[in-house]
A and B are shown apart, each in its own frame.
Chain A
């Protein structure tokens, strides 16, 4: 795995980003289980606060009856820093109540302390669920607890899983708070994979579709390069009970793509989204008048626009007959070109300008020749 791992929890960060949003931090849920997060500053603040207030469990009367269970770590010494000492003692008491299976109010408080120290420890979260069930705890209060923990840990798998479990147990009444919770997460990172996944679950399970297309639009206005928001937009037009499906929305969405592409034709997301509008209905693509118009506009601005050339190639392969204007935009002679010659020209040109993927375009070129001879 990495596999497995990959799984493991993917958390770690990939921080960031690309060329376009340099001032924000973006991290991605990727799959590394380390669950760290980007928001280290917050983390540190929180930890400092904890350390100031922390009274060792061994000094608290309510824990006097518990014999802590230490982990066997062999002969190597523990690094003597305060945080580690606190961490260790808390976990020693946690192991003790876990072994006793003590589902009590003080156990709930202890899981909170342990989670604050390490929100990635899935065993603590599991035990907390058992305690919540045993105490018939108010789950709306639990949502608030998660919000406090999440502030420093928006990329942690366990938090989102626990959030989902809590919201599931509350039922449809949780719809609004859950949509809001993801919006809080997007303020820190509008590409947070867990948050988008949670939001899709809320929509599918409890509804809230009415405003979702507008929500996508708002996020795309904030960052037109946000591929997660583009993906959500596709999710909405495909699944919303109010919009009629991808086919019904196609023309509307083509215009949306056109405007996004006009901002920056090197933005991969709207071009892929545009092609996605024809997923499973390839034959409709060469019949469109809007699509070639978008290609023409962009090629007239920049004849080296990779995504426009790629889309033109796709159109030609599907039997589209290019207009003279489009041929002219490529810099070709008007009269002497067959569709095959134009496609060959486009492909050869792509190979020259997108050198990183030269062998991909080479393959497309070969595929063209093979198609023409067969």
Chain B
């Protein structure tokens, strides 16, 4: 089996901040999530200290709005997606005390709808992704009491399908990304008893295709990002041993650019920070040697989560 070329991936992530190409311009509105992916990857590989924390913090605070929410970049509107990314970055750096937690919590609780679901921002798009963002974020801030958690859980449960999976809204097709969000939110809320673990576990392990990679829905191609979404869900419901871990490990390693660093969706494709993060996080869940362990629900290194809740 090949090896994870950590040194190359570290260099790749460090180079991202200096790029000024078209791709960078087109993704500038989601830079907060990009920063979270890059920084978490660096932390899992044990190289977080090589990033410029001070500059990142200055920029991050410029992205907070009067409402308490964070935007994807300076000059953009706040959104729950980027608010979670910002809080996760603060957690990585042990700087959660640097923000007004009540204000962030007020922003999030203001997005909860009558039926328990969450909107992504003031414009009202509702999706179980946002339920995860809200619950994960408030838990990290220790402010889960600011929302109606019972209704939030009921809404997620209403998105459960006949195959045991979850979709974005009630009736939406099961999709591994949405499943991660729903199972993650239920895990944090202490409501995993609402998951049909055996039925969902089989659906999830059926996502593994002969190449060893995982897809996100039946009849789709495998993609490294599902190494995180499927795998973390299986870990949370205690069924991860149902897949072939060695074959998955090999699939992820085959998606590396060993020369320039970074990981792609499938072997031989172009790398990006999103798939680099998912590849590294997936390998961490697979207990790859040399990587620090990641928490499957919070998507942060285990010691970061422990520091928040147990110190």
Contacts and interface: CB of A to CB of B under 8 A. Distances in A.
Interface residues of A, number: 83
Contacts of B177: 6-7, 10, 30-31
Contacts of A238: 171
A5 B229 contact: no
B242 A88 contact: no
Nearest to B83: A4
A9 B79 CA distance: 11
B30 interface: yes
A93 interface: no
Interface stretch (A173-181, A223-231, A287-295, A322-330): A223-231
A27 B247 CA distance: 24
Contacts of B175: 28-30, 193
A88 B26 CA distance: 11
A20 B205 contact: no
Interface stretch (B2-10, B103-111, B125-133, B249-257): B125-133
A73 interface: yes
Interface residues of B, number: 84
A284 interface: no
B121 to A, nearest CB: 8
A87 to B, nearest CB: 6
A34 interface: yes
A239 interface: yes
A14 B161 contact: no
B81 A231 contact: no
Contacts of A356: 208, 210, 243-244, 247
- Most chain B beta-carbon contacts within 10 A, residue among A7, A87, A120, A129: A7
A218 interface: no
Interface stretch (A138-146, A254-262, A272-280, A332-340): A272-280
Interface string B179-193: 011001000000000
A2 B228 contact: yes
Interface in A152-179: 161, 164-165
A31 B20 contact: no
B220 A18 contact: yes
- Most chain A beta-carbon contacts within 10 A, residue among B71, B209, B229, B272: B229
A1 B29 contact: no
Contacts of A76: 18-20
A4 B274 contact: no
B169 A200 contact: yes
B36 interface: yes
Q: Is the interface of A mostly helix, strand, loop or mixed?
A: helix
A132 to B, nearest CB: 12
Contact of B299 (A4, A33, A87): A4
A250 to B, nearest CB: 12
Contacts of B209: 18
A341 to B, nearest CB: 23
Contacts of B42: none
A1 B127 CA distance: 15
Interface stretch (B92-100, B142-150, B211-219, B301-309): B211-219
Interface of A: 1-10, 12-21, 26, 28-34, 71-73, 76-79, 81, 83-84, 87-88, 95, 98, 118, 120-123, 126, 129, 161, 164-165, 191, 193, 196-197, 200-201, 204, 225-228, 231-232, 234-235, 238-239, 268-269, 272-273, 275-276, 279, 355-360, 363
12 contacts: A1-B36, A3-B184, A3-B299, A5-B37, A5-B85, A8-B82, A19-B219, A122-B29, A204-B171, A273-B162, A276-B162, A356-B243
Given A14-B216, A33-B81, A272-B203, 13 more contacts: A3-B298, A4-B84, A4-B85, A5-B84, A6-B177, A8-B30, A28-B175, A28-B217, A34-B272, A123-B77, A165-B123, A228-B173, A268-B206
